[in-house]
Amino acid sequence: MHFGSTFFRTPMSNGVMKEDISSAMVQPASSQVSSKHDQESSWISASQNGNTRAFNRLVLKWESRVYNLALRMLQHPDEAAEATQEVFLSAYKSIRRFRRDAKFSTWLYRIALNHCISRARRRPQGAHFSLDDGREGATQADRLRASDSQEGELLRAENRQRVRGALAFLPPEQRAVVELKFFQEMTFDDIAAVLGVPLSTIKSRLYAALDSLKVRLGART
């Protein structure tokens, strides 16, 4: 997939060239960028003005995180790669509507999760996928970093393959909350902002998801 002379690709996609970022030119800056935040902000501004190479810089920064999110949500490497392409295409088309008073990560994760949830809902009822340990994306998908809570200890202590398999049986909305809480390490307030639902709904989805995981993993309460 390309915009003008630039390309964006997903970590698992085949036959799509990665842009040579050394030759990518974004809008000139009056001084050296002082921080990563300022750098990203300049790429966003340039992207909103139609600079596809600046948008490609955003893709290169965020593609691995979006891909791994899609991998955990969809549980299938090829589908996750395809979804990641579609997420960035959607982001490119709507970048001009991004409000600068919001976090770019919140906006991008909202697009990604809504897209993954829609894909998961279109699957035939009862259809589940499992990750192939031999694929590159499985390494990141293995890591459930949680707080020192009973639920976090459950997710850390259980066999990784079993945890991934159990996640596949959660409803997409619950899986999205688990993704943001334990993989992205977001607060409840940030999760509510990403998903656009009340805080009470976020908490109830998380607790329901953890109860389901305990049952499926055979954990004792």
6 φ, ψ to 5°?
A: -110, 165
Classified by CATH at the fold level, domain 142-221 comes out as Arc Repressor Mutant, subunit A (1.10.10)
168 vs 207, higher pLDDT: 207
- Rounded to the nearest integer, the mean pLDDT of the chain is 75
Domain boundaries, the chain: 6-10+37-123, 142-221
Q: What is the CA radius of gyration of the chain?
A: 18
Classified by CATH at the fold level, domain 6-10+37-123 comes out as Rna Polymerase Sigma Factor; Chain: A (1.10.1740)
Q: Is the pLDDT of residue 151 over 70?
A: no
**CA–CA distance, 47 with 32 (Å, rounded to integer):** 19
Residues ≥6 apart with Cβ < 8 Å to 17: 7, 9
As a three-state string, the secondary structure of 149-197 is: CHHHHHHHHCCHHHHHHHHCCCCHHHHHHHHHHHHCCCCHHHHHHHHCC
Q: Is the pLDDT of residue 89 over 90?
A: yes
**CA–CA distance, 65 with 184 (Å, rounded to integer):** 9
Question: If pLDDT is split at 50, 70 and 90, which confidence band does 160 have?
Answer: low
Q: Is the pLDDT of residue 57 over 90?
A: yes
The predicted pLDDT at position 220 comes to 45
Strand partners, 6: 3
Q: Is the pLDDT of residue 155 over 70?
A: no
| Average pLDDT value for residue range 1-5 | 42
Q: Is the pLDDT of residue 98 over 70?
A: yes
User: Are the beta carbons of 4 and 76 closer than 8 angstroms?
Assistant: no
